[in-house]
Amino acid sequence: MSKLKKIPLMLLGAGGAFFVVTFTIYFFNLDMKLTSKLEPFFLKHYDTMPRKQYV
């Protein structure tokens, strides 16, 4: 195949793969599951930060 025909097919394949990965993350709610696993580390970090509270 010529390069002019190969490039659009590669872009189509990459776009399809990107769609499949993002749809899987959305369908199984993996982003929020990861966030819930990381939440204790975030709370530990942000609870120890010094605060400047102005009234």
Domain count along the chain: 1
Read off the amino acid at residue 14. A
Calpha distance 51→48 (Å, rounded)? 9
pLDDT given at position 30: 97
Binned at pLDDT 50, 70 and 90, residue 3 comes out as confident
- Answer yes or no: is pLDDT of 5 > 80: yes
pLDDT score for 17 = 98
Question: Residue 35 is part of which domain span?
Answer: 3-47
Answer whether residue 17 is part of any domain: yes
Q: Note whether residue 13 is domain-resident.
A: yes
Residue 54, domain member (yes or no): no
pTM above 0.75, yes or no: no
The length of the chain is 55
Instruction: Report if residue 11 sits inside a domain.
Output: yes
Give per-residue pLDDT as tens, 23-42.
999 999 999 999 999 999 99
